[in-house]
C-alpha cells in the first residue's frame, strides 16, 4: 500500500501517473447503528459486523505526460475513487500509486465553503484549504472574481448565492493555477452554456500548455472530443483502455445483450423493452457560426440495436437525423431543424456518415446544438432513452 509523488523535474517523456495493482477496500457495516452509544455497546459485545466492498480491484494504469485521459463507466464503478487515489486524498489498500508533479483536483467544487461568509471571505478560505498562502490568494483575487463573473455579489453572504454561482466561484478558485496534472470529476456542466464554454476553454488551455488531464465525465461526446485515450471502469475493474471512439462504442454496446434467439436486445430493466439506442458523433463543426447562414456538419451515427433502422427509400417509419437549438437557459429556440435522411438501412452495430445542413438561430449569442434521431410516425430516440449529442456554439 503505497502512494508516492515525484518531482515535476522528472523527464517529460516519462509517465505522469502510474498505478500498479491498486485496490481500495471499504469496510461497510451490515446494519445501521443509530447512535454512538449503541455502537459502543455492540462493539464491547463484539456484535459489530462488517463486510468488504472493493471500490477498486487490481487496477493497472499508466498515463503519459501531456495527455488528456478520459475515464467512463456507470455510477458506482469506482471512477471518483480512482481520482481520489491519484489526488492523494485516499491511500490504496493494496498496490502502489505513483504521481509525478503538482496536482490540481477538481473533485468537489466549493467543498469547504461557509454559507455565512461573503464570497470574498470564501475565496480566501477555500484558497487556503487548497494550499495557497494569503499573499498568493490576494494576487489571484481579481482574476478569480473576473472569471466567476461575480463582481456585483462578491461581498454578499454565500447563502444568498444560487448553486450555479457557488459552482462558478469554486471552479474559478480551483483552476487559477498551473498544475502538472489536472483532475476533473464531472464539472463540465458548471453554470449556463456561456460559462460552460469558458470553463471548457480553460481546461483546453491546460492541455495546450502540456498539462496532463484526467477527466471523468458522462458526456461521451466531450470524452471523444478532448481525450487521447479513454479507460472504461466496471465494478472497480478495468474493462478496456484504448482510443476514445472505440471505448465509447464498447461501453454503449455493453448495454445490449444477445437474446436466446441471437437477436440484439438491450440489457437491464430500464431498457428491456427493446427501445432503440444510438451513438451520435459530431466529426467536424465550426465553433463560431454566422446567424441565419446554414453550414454543413459532418456527423456519424451508429446503430446500437436492437433492430435495423429503415431508410427513407423504404417508406416504413424511416429514421432521420435532426437537430434542436437551445439557449443558455436550456429552453429550445429551434425545434426539429432540417432533417437528414438515411438513404439505406442501418443494421445493428453498423455506422453511417452523414452531412447535415444546420441553420443557426437568427440572433447572435451562445447556444447548444443538440443532435437526435427520429423515427417517423414513432418517436424521437431521446424520448425512448437513447443519449443525444450536444455541442456549444457561438453565433454571431
Query: Does 393 score more than 60 pLDDT?
Result: yes
In this structure, how many other beta carbons lie within 10 angstroms of the beta carbon of residue 119?
Answer: 23
Strand partners, 58: none
CA distance 217 to 189: 10
User: 36, 114 in Cβ contact below 8 A?
Assistant: no
d(CA 355, CA 141): 46
Pick from 323, 320, 329, 333: nearest CA to 369: 323
What pLDDT, in 10s, does the model give residues 8-49? Answer: 444 556 899 999 999 999 887 767 777 888 778 777 877 777
Percent over 70 (pLDDT), the chain: 86
Alpha helices (H) in 192-297, listed in sequence order: 193-208, 220-226, 244-253
Q: What is the pLDDT of residue 255?
A: 59
Q: Decide if pLDDT at 113 tops 80.
A: yes
pLDDT confidence tier of residue 59, bands split at 50, 70 and 90: very high
pLDDT band at 246 (very low <50, low <70, confident <90, very high): confident
Kindly report, residue by residue over 78-98, the tens digit of the pLDDT. Answer: 998 999 999 888 899 999 999
Of 53-62, 68-77, 142-151, 335-344, give the lowest mean pLDDT range: 335-344
**Comparing C-alpha atoms, which of 286, 281, 307 is closest to residue 296?**
286
Distance, CA of 190 to CA of 168 (rounded, Å): 6
pLDDT band at 259 (very low <50, low <70, confident <90, very high): very low
| Segment 203-224, tens digit of pLDDT | 878 888 888 999 888 777 778 7
Task: Specify whether the CB–CB gap between 197 and 38 falls below 8 A.
Answer: no
Give me 337's grid cell.
Answer: 431543424
pLDDT in tens, 269-288: 333 345 677 888 888 788 78
- Domains of the chain and CATH, by start: 277-395 (2.60.40.770)
- pLDDT-derived band at 111 (thresholds 50, 70, 90) equals low
Question: Structure pTM?
Answer: 0.65
Nearest to 167 by CA among 201, 188, 191, 192: 191
Return phi, psi of residue 167, to 5°: -65, -40
Distance (Å, whole) CA 76 – CA 236? 8
In DSSP terms, 94 is beta-bridged to 23
Count of alpha carbons within 13 Å of 235, Cβ hemisphere only? 0
pLDDT tens column, 174-194: 888 878 898 888 765 555 666
Can you say how many angstroms the Cα of residue 65 is from the centroid of all Cα atoms in its chain?
Answer: 21
Q: Are 148 and 190 a contacting pair, CB within 8 Å? A: no
Amino acid at each position: 500500500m503505497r502512494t508516492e509523488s515525484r518531482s515535476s523535474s522528472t523527464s517529460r517523456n516519462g509517465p505522469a501517473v502510474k498505478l500498479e495493482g491498486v485496490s481500495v477496500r471499504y469496510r461497510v457495516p451490515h446494519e445501521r447503528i443509530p447512535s454512538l452509544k449503541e455502537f459502543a455497546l455492540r462493539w464491547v459485545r463484539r456484535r459489530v459486523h462488517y463486510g468488504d466492498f472493493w471500490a477498486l480491484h487490481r487496477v493497472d494504469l499508466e498515463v503519459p505526460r501531456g495527455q488528456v485521459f478520459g475515464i467512463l463507466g456507470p455510477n458506482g464503478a469506482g471512477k471518483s475513487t480512482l481520482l481520489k487515489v491519484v489526488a492523494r486524498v485516499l491511500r490504496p489498500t493494496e498496490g502502489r500509486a505513483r504521481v509525478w508533479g503538482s496536482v490540481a483536483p477538481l473533485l468537489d467544487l466549493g467543498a469547504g465553503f461557509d454559507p455565512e461568509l461573503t464570497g470574498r471571505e470564501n475565496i480566501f478560505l477555500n484558497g487556503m484549504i487548497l494550499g495557497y498562502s494569503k499573499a498568493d490568494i490576494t494576487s489571484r483575487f481579481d482574476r478569480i472574481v473576473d472569471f466567476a463573473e461575480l463582481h456585483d455579489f462578491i461581498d454578499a453572504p454565500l447563502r444568498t448565492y444560487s448553486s450555479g454561482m457557488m459552482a462558478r466561484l469554486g471552479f474559478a478558485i480551483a483552476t487559477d493555477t498551473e498544475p502538472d496534472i489536472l483532475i476533473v470529476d464531472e464539472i463540465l456542466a458548471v453554470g449556463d452554456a456561456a460559462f460552460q464554454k469558458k470553463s471548457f476553454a480553460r481546461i483546453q488551455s491546460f492541455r495546450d500548455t502540456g498539462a496532463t488531464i484526467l477527466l471523468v465525465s458522462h458526456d461521451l461526446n466531450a470524452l471523444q472530443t478532448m481525450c487521447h485515450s479513454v479507460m472504461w471502469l466496471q465494478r472497480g475493474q478495468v474493462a478496456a483502455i484504448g482510443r476514445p471512439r472505440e471505448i465509447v462504442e464498447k461501453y454503449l454496446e455493453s448495454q445490449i445483450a444477445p437474446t436466446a434467439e441471437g437477436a440484439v436486445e438491450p440489457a437491464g430493466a430500464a431498457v428491456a423493452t427493446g427501445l432503440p439506442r444510438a451513438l451520435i458523433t459530431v466529426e467536424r463543426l465550426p465553433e463560431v457560426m454566422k446567424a441565419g447562414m446554414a453550414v454543413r456538419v459532418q456527423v456519424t451515427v451508429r446503430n446500437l440495436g436492437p433492430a435495423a433502422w429503415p431508410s427513407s427509400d423504404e417508406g416504413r417509419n424511416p429514421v432521420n437525423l435532426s437537430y434542436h437549438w437551445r439557449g443558455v437557459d436550456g429552453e429550445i429556440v429551434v425545434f426539429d431543424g432540417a432533417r437528414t435522411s438515411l438513404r439505406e438501412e442501418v443494421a445493428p452495430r453498423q455506422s453511417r456518415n452523414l452531412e447535415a445542413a444546420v441553420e443557426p438561430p437568427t440572433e447572435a449569442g451562445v447556444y447548444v446544438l443538440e443532435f437526435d434521431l427520429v423515427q417517423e410516425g414513432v418517436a424521437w430516440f431521446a424520448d425512448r432513452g437513447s443519449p443525444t449529442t450536444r455541442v456549444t456554439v457561438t453565433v454571431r
